[in-house]
Structure 1
Amino acid sequence: MPLITSCPECNTQFVVKKEQLKAYDGQVRCGTCQHVFNAKEYLVKQSRSKKVTPTKVEAVLSDISLNPDTQTLPTEHIEMTAPDALQAQFNQDAPTEPATQEDTTAETQAATGTAHTPSFLNDLAIDEPVAKPLRRVPFSWPLFGLSLFLLLVLLVQGIYFKRTEIAAYYPQTKPWLTQACQYAKCTIALPNNIDLLTIDDSDMQEHLTYAQVLVFSSTLINHADFPQAYPNIELTLTNVDDEPVLRRTLKPADYIHQAASTDSGIAAKEEVRIKLQLNTSDIAVAGYRVALHYP
């Protein structure tokens, strides 16, 4: 007498054999909804008085082994026939589930014999451009000579525009620069870094002999490690409200009486004492301001 079991999920009935139940302790898979259940627990009781006409069912019962060491038995295909009327009624009563996109894809791949390629294999399959090896350019003597010439021109331009600073920081190069300037029609002037010059110890007094004459005295200090050109001294006289009433710009020739000293500039770390007499006429002077600058 055949055994009939019913799927607890979709109520589909299947004909099973005792050998199948013994193989894996009754564990089977429904061929309709793929649910795994114990066929022994859902056996359908059959009446002896009424002959049960089996329904044409086509399902694959996949046995599941609880022992990982046991090999999977081959899947058995069971097919039974029934009258057309019963088959039509069974098809109406049996629940149907809409096929998902994954099932449709799986069926299409199974029909075409192709398998889904994992995403990491797709990434490896992308055609990536292979870097071509760099082609070695043959050496060109004309191009090398042109590059060397342009580099030399750039160096000469830098020396020309920075000749004053070069001569100040590297005094041993000054004779060569002076000789080169004879051909280039240029001169090497003294540096004029106003930040390295200060005027200190300033004082303004009335002349002891002459009226309306003021005596200005101060000290000019060069803090640089090289000689610098003498700056212009701007002297501003103010009234009692600290408003300018007289301003004079004193050039190096006005406060340095030796022309040779003016041309050679103020030496490195040198202090030069300055003393001037100013005629104020009838202007009332109460104070003064002094500043240094280059023309």
Structure 2
Amino acid sequence: RKPRGSNSDFARQDAPISEGYIVSMVTQCPSCGTRFRVTLEQLEARQGQVRCGLCQTVFDGREPLVAEPEPAPPTASAHEAPAFRLEPVDAGAVAPEPEPAVEAGPKERDYGPPPEQLSFDDQIFLEEERARGRSARWWAVGAALVFFVLGGHAAYVYRSELATQFPGLKPHLLRLCKPLRCTVMPPQRPTLLAIEASDLQFADSKQPSRIQLTATLRNHAGHDVGYPALDLVLTNKMEHTLARRIFLPAEYLESGRDPASGIPANAEITVQLDLDAGTLDPAGFRLNLLAAP
């Protein structure tokens, strides 16, 4: 095979092409082996020079020319190039330089249609909505204040019960009572107390009017209970009432005991009362426990 691009490649350019050639022909690239379908008219118009559409090699398309009896529709194969060109070129021509890439300009952002201007009715509606929102906030503030006041009042009224049920709240309740000058005492639960023993005797035989009441009280609750009030009734031999009096804790507790401390859980206390019956001459008594005010 002769070197590609030499003068001998073009020596045959002026040789006449016989009219006996079949119209449809196939030529093959000597460099990559790709086959092309050409016609004699195309070869004569370009003096036989063909450029491979795959590897860009320029060669004489008449040298490897093969005839085909009938032109058939082209079918893609592994060695057929998708396209080719027939043009006069120089032997030392090189592949064309790639075209410069076209830089894409910045895309315009679509912000959509401009917002519509609110009508007068819409503005009135928005103002009403804002007014309702402000009113709702004031209602919420007022409800919170009412809840706070009612909660404080309930804590003040039921401070003893709260301190008993929730001992951890007692220090806070004491601080609350300090400016209010109140106390946190154990709750009054007389039904949780029992009179274990009681007795009425003459304190001095020389003074028949002097009598002494002794009673033992027991707390059966699991928490402290406030000292009760003692309801004492003196009776005669017929158990008719001669006299009645209610004694508060400060009146029957011994000196030094705080009435606000209460009776401890599951504990007992002994109460003694010295009384002057005068001319009543009691023969019996009844003792009941009441809630102290």
Q: Which has the higher helix share?
A: 1
Please classify the TM superposition score into its range, dividing by the shorter chain length: 0.3 to 0.5
TM-score w.r.t. length of structure 1: 0.46
- Which structure has the bigger radius of gyration? 2
